[in-house]
Amino acid sequence: MSDRVRELFESVVEDPTNREVSGELETLLRDAGDWASLVDLYVHLAQHAAEPAEASAWLVKGGRVAESDADDIARALQLYGASLEGDPTDGIATLSHMRALSEAAEDWGSFVEIARAEAERRAEPAERAELAWRIGQAFEVHLGDAEQAVAFYQAAFGEDASCIKALRACRRLYRAHGDLTAVAQLLDLELQALGNDHDDRREVLNELAWLLGRDLDQPELARQAFDELVRRWPGDADNEAALAQLGGPIGEEAGTVAEDLPEQSVAEEPEVAEEPEPEVAEEPEPEVAEEP
């Protein structure tokens, strides 16, 4: 560190409001590529800012240097998180960027915390559902926690019933666990979400029909499902034989599978939004005073 930089650091510590001095120091540190010291300067200026929004802006600048110049993603996440407290916007853009950084760094613990904080600020159910699904994926694929994965998949289709990928992911885990009643309930929920004309309805209904008839001993429900399959997609010999064995076509008197399945307990939304804000949002301690 040059004598001039050392002198400027001392001046900034004594008077953080002197923008002429801090600006010169900022330029010298950039020219020298001393990114760690530049980040410390921004943190110091943030801690002595007159307004929360000004502090937030300094912390964002520090985060950008840590991310782009110092290649210190952990430090960048820390600074971006600290900037949220004084952020004059809703903070969604910052959180979304933090989420992308943590995902690229495969820091899945931070990813979960950040995505949850972002979801709490999102206004649209579809956006919250997408984030809940992504959190579920992180728990299932990267953190090896199937229970938490199921909870967030349930939260996703609790927010948005059309979030088919969350229904299917949840169903896959219940099937792996051997809970076929839950699998049937989720298949029925998917049928409701798909509607009558979706291209996937036949495949989903076929799986449900065989599950009800072969594994769950629900002949009346299975009959309803096979009846729709045979009426709408004739020519499948296996389905026609199954329907005949169950009593043949139903006609107009039947209800729907959805009306008669057991209560869909798997669709209850878990209490996942009540945990505290992620620790990543805490402001780091500056080290600028130790530079001279």
The reply to whether 189 and 159 lie within a common domain is: no
Decide which of 158, 178, 198 is a domain's last residue: 178
Has residue 217 been placed in a domain? yes
Contact (CB, 8 A) for 95 and 118: yes
pLDDT at 149: 98
Residues of the chain under the 70 pLDDT cut: 251-292
Has residue 283 been placed in a domain? no
* Maximum Cα–Cα distance across the chain: 94
Enumerate the H helices of the chain as residue ranges. 3-14, 19-32, 35-47, 52-64, 73-83, 92-104, 108-121, 125-137, 146-159, 164-177, 180-194, 201-210, 219-232, 237-245, 257-260
Q: State the CATH number of the domain containing residue 148.
A: 1.25.40.10
Has residue 280 been placed in a domain? no
d(CA 239, CA 246): 11
pLDDT at 277: 43
Has residue 285 been placed in a domain? no
Decide which of 88, 108, 140 is a domain's last residue: 88
The reply to whether 155 and 183 lie within a common domain is: no
The torsion angles phi and psi of 143, rounded to 5 degrees, stand at: -105, -10
Q: If phi over 0 gives left and psi between -120 and 50 gives alpha, with beta otherwise, what is residue 236?
A: beta
The reply to whether 121 and 203 lie within a common domain is: no
The reply to whether 80 and 103 lie within a common domain is: no
pLDDT at 10: 94
The reply to whether 209 and 249 lie within a common domain is: yes
What Rg do the C-alpha atoms of the chain give, in angstroms?
Answer: 28
Has residue 2 been placed in a domain? yes
Has residue 26 been placed in a domain? yes
Has residue 43 been placed in a domain? yes
Write out the residue range of the structural domain in which residue 81 sits. 1-88
Decide which of 156, 178, 200 is a domain's last residue: 178
User: Taking each helix axis from N to C terminus, what angle separates 73-83 and 52-64, rounded to the nearest 10 degrees?
Assistant: 170
pLDDT at 2: 86
What are the b/e assignments for 99-136, b being 16+ CB within 10 Å?
bebbbeeebbebbbbbbbbbbeebeeeebbbbbbbbbb
Sign of the alpha-carbon dihedral angle for 170, 172, 175, 181: positive
d(CA 113, CA 95): 10
The reply to whether 32 and 81 lie within a common domain is: yes
**pLDDT tens digit string along 144-177?**
999 999 999 999 999 999 999 999 999 999 999 9
The reply to whether 9 and 77 lie within a common domain is: yes
Tally of structural domains, the chain? 3
Contact (CB, 8 A) for 109 and 77: no
Has residue 64 been placed in a domain? yes
pLDDT at 271: 39
The reply to whether 155 and 198 lie within a common domain is: no
**pLDDT tens digit string along 58-110?**
999 999 999 999 999 999 999 999 999 999 999 999 999 999 999 999 999 99
